[in-house]
Amino acid sequence: MEVEILKKKKLRVTPFRKEVLDVFLKNEHAISIQDIEDALVEFDRITLYRTIKSFTNKGVIHEIVMPGDVKKLALCDGVCDHDSGLHEHNHIHFQCRLCSEVYCVEVDELPKIEVPGFTIEEQEIQAKGICAKCS
């Protein structure tokens, strides 16, 4: 699966990229850079950060910043294409108040927000509550 994702996003397939992508595939929730570092056996920090930047730029992953939390990263839906400069699939970022995990929750449609005098190109909706695992 890792190879297909990398090829689809026009990224060179390397053992390290496959290993980093596998860390994302094994998690249902968003993860921090520290989580990635903890999951890798051996790695060069510069190579890891370059890999994360490449994954973000190509729409493999996206960043999530919840108030009061560290930046987390999550896999993008297959339709994301960062060549357009926009994160293109409809989801909200949901953080569980009990376990603190952050999930990307797909929705059919995001509410349309209009701000007079401004053009909204991208919006992010964040919600907090209790996740299914903690309920």
Known binding-site positions for Zn(2+): 96, 99, 131, 134
Q: Is the dihedral of CA 43, 44, 47, 51 positive or negative?
A: positive
Binding residues: 96, 99, 131, 134
Residue with tokens 């994301």, as numbered in its chain: 80
Q: What is the DSSP letter of 113?
A: -
The residue among 86, 32, 38 whose CA lies nearest residue 64 is 32
Q: Please tell me the distance from the alpha carbon of residue 32 to that of residue 30, in angstroms, as a whole number.
A: 7
